[in-house]
Amino acid sequence: MPQKSFKAYPQGQGYLFPMNLDDLIPQDSPVRLVNQIVDSLDITKIIDTYKGGGTSSYHPRMMLKIVLYAYLNNIYSCRKIEQNTRDRISFMWLSGMQTPDHNTINLFRSLHLKDTISDIFTQVVLMLVDMGHLTLETAYFDGTKIESKANRYTFVWRKSLEKSKAKLEAKIKTILVQIDECIAQDNQPDDEPPTPFNTEELKKRIAQINREKLSKEQKKEVKALENKHLPKLEEYEKKLEVLGERNSYSKTDHEATFMRLKDDHMQNGQLKPAQNLQIVTENQFYTHYDMFSNPNDTRTLIPLFKGYEKRYDKMPEQGVGDSGYGSEENYDFMEEFNIEPFVKFNYFHKEQKKSFKNDAFITQNLYYNAEKDYFVCPMGQHLEKVGIGTRTSEGGFVSNIDYYQAQNCTNCPLKCLCYKAEGNRKIEINHNLRRHKEKVRKLLTSEEGLMHRSKRPIEVEPVFGQTKSNKGYNRFRHFGKDKVMMDFGIFAIAFNIGKLYNKQGIIAINALKSLLFDEKSVFFIIFVHMHTFPSTENYFSSQNIKVAA
């Protein structure tokens, strides 16, 4: 039987020379990339958020490093970050063996990063541009709904609120009419419909009534108005003010709107308080992000692109999105700023089918004479212009509509195939939208358009998949848009750093594979192996930043 042997197990044994943590960190570890990137950032704005005086603070550069590295490793809890600074070597190396507690980490995020993280994100993106990973010329954009931290079952709905407010106003009107009848002043007929009340007007009315001589019953009714109905009316008005143009909001997070989530916690598609996260990506890196309370993507494109311009002082040259953004207002905006709109519109894919192209009765397939401004039906009858009108969207955008009508469709043998309504056929045409669709149709069916259409699903969708599934970022952890934006900004920076690390690792691996059997290139293979981040190292060298060999 062979003799058993084991390695020595000197637990608790002291060392003559203290160990260096840097020797325990692999040269190709992502923690070194985080360290190099943060060392190259300008954190003046973060430093300016400190008031000074009192005891010394942890250095903001160190705090930023451990927060970003924690988010890179799917650690979002301040308590877990604190724990890792105490028992994880990579965190100890980053923090220089300092151990800030969870309150300090939380205050650093909420007080010092809330208004400055957007600038840090911009610096990282511009760093990626200098490395050649981004151009900021093409914007692939899309949206997803992420659940809020708010209570899932405390909600306010507009219809219910307006109904309750109307009932209260009718009740107040009845009381006022009864009092007026008794004091014979400003008597109003009983059949007058309820009119909306304003709390300020109601206060003036109550003050006016209190100057009159009132009976005991009247004083009781006035007291009910002051102590019961008036506060309730103020509450309704405040809730309507919070609602704005929305249909709902959460009582515990007023900026969260109830939206139907595809992957909610109960997996049954129920309405949950959420924010509409809109992102812009390129090469699967985050280049811009914003949060919206509106669940509809259509009305988010313009503020999203304006935020993009504010961040980089320029608009993208090309915008690539799905049909959720294909509206006349968005096309007008992109045309104004010279952005090529590779953005689908409704029925774009349906138009590509033979059944649609061969249907001569569809409005889009009718021949239009632009000089004389009329359409021609399949039977050769002219549809002349009979009027104009406007249509206003939910966001207040006004579209101009032209109406065209045929002269006589009574005895037409093709009427059953043409339309089903009574009388002569009438169509509505938005010439501006029609022009935009023709332009977009040519762009999307061009060689460049086909490239963008095939690339868009592998640009934005994988980023959402990585964010929600692999990174576990599927629910916000803060209340209020400012803190939600802060938290997601940290996540987006960490995500980009992780993507950079993965891409540079692939470059090194491909270089090794291509040179594996080249006996004359042994030295170069070792060089590539030692420098896992070739373009990253070149960048930091140009910035006079020391890079470990």
pLDDT digits (tens, 9 = 90+) for 184-193: 544 444 444 4
HEC-encoded secondary structure of 504-542: HHHHHHHHHHHHCCCHHHHHHHHHHHHCCCHHHHHHHHH
Of the pLDDT bands very low, low, confident and very high (cuts 50, 70, 90), residue 528 is very low
| Mean pLDDT to the nearest integer, 52-64 | 90
| Mean pLDDT to the nearest integer, 328-347 | 93
* Strand 138-147 relative to strand 318-321, pairing: parallel
| Mean pLDDT to the nearest integer, 195-221 | 72
pLDDT digits (tens, 9 = 90+) for 109-127: 999 999 999 999 999 999 9
Helix (H) or strand (E) holding 156: strand 155-157
Query: What pLDDT was estimated at residue 325?
Result: 92
Rounded to the nearest integer, the mean pLDDT of the chain is: 83
Is residue 72 over pLDDT 80? yes
pLDDT digits (tens, 9 = 90+) for 399-409: 999 999 888 88
Is residue 535 over pLDDT 70? no
Rounded Cα distance between 72 and 498, Å, is: 6
Query: What pLDDT was estimated at residue 523?
Result: 43
Of the pLDDT bands very low, low, confident and very high (cuts 50, 70, 90), residue 525 is very low
Lowest mean pLDDT among 74-78, 240-244, 507-511: 507-511
Would you put residue 361 in left (φ > 0), alpha (ψ -120 to 50) or beta? alpha
- Looking at residue 63, its amino acid is M
Lateral strand order in the sheet of 382-392: 367-369, 374-376, 382-392, 398-406, 426-429
Of the pLDDT bands very low, low, confident and very high (cuts 50, 70, 90), residue 530 is very low
Q: What are the residues whose beta carbons fall under 8 Å from the beta carbon of 135, sequence distance 6 or more?
A: 129, 282
Rounded Cα distance between 523 and 527, Å, is: 6
Of the pLDDT bands very low, low, confident and very high (cuts 50, 70, 90), residue 197 is low
Is residue 412 over pLDDT 80? yes
Which among 291, 293, 266 has a CA at the least distance from the CA of 152?
266
Is residue 371 over pLDDT 60? yes
Which among 105, 91, 22 has a CA at the least distance from the CA of 58?
105
Query: What pLDDT was estimated at residue 91?
Result: 93
Residue 468 φ then ψ, to 5°:
-85, -45
Sign, CA torsion 80/86/88/89:
positive
Share of the chain above pLDDT 90, in %: 41
Is residue 309 over pLDDT 60? yes
pTM of the model: 0.82
Query: What pLDDT was estimated at residue 539?
Result: 57
Query: What pLDDT was estimated at residue 505?
Result: 66
Of the pLDDT bands very low, low, confident and very high (cuts 50, 70, 90), residue 49 is very high
Is residue 89 over pLDDT 70? yes
Would you put residue 120 in left (φ > 0), alpha (ψ -120 to 50) or beta? alpha
**Number of helices (H) and strands (E), helices first, in the chain?**
23, 13
- Identify the residue with better confidence: 523 or 69: 69
**Cα-trace Rg, the chain:** 33
Output the six-digit token pair for 549: 């060999």
Query: What pLDDT was estimated at residue 152?
Result: 74
Which among 278, 283, 323, 271 has a CA at the least distance from the CA of 304?
278
- Identify the residue with better confidence: 534 or 19: 19
Of the pLDDT bands very low, low, confident and very high (cuts 50, 70, 90), residue 269 is low
Of the pLDDT bands very low, low, confident and very high (cuts 50, 70, 90), residue 341 is very high
Query: What pLDDT was estimated at residue 547?
Result: 42
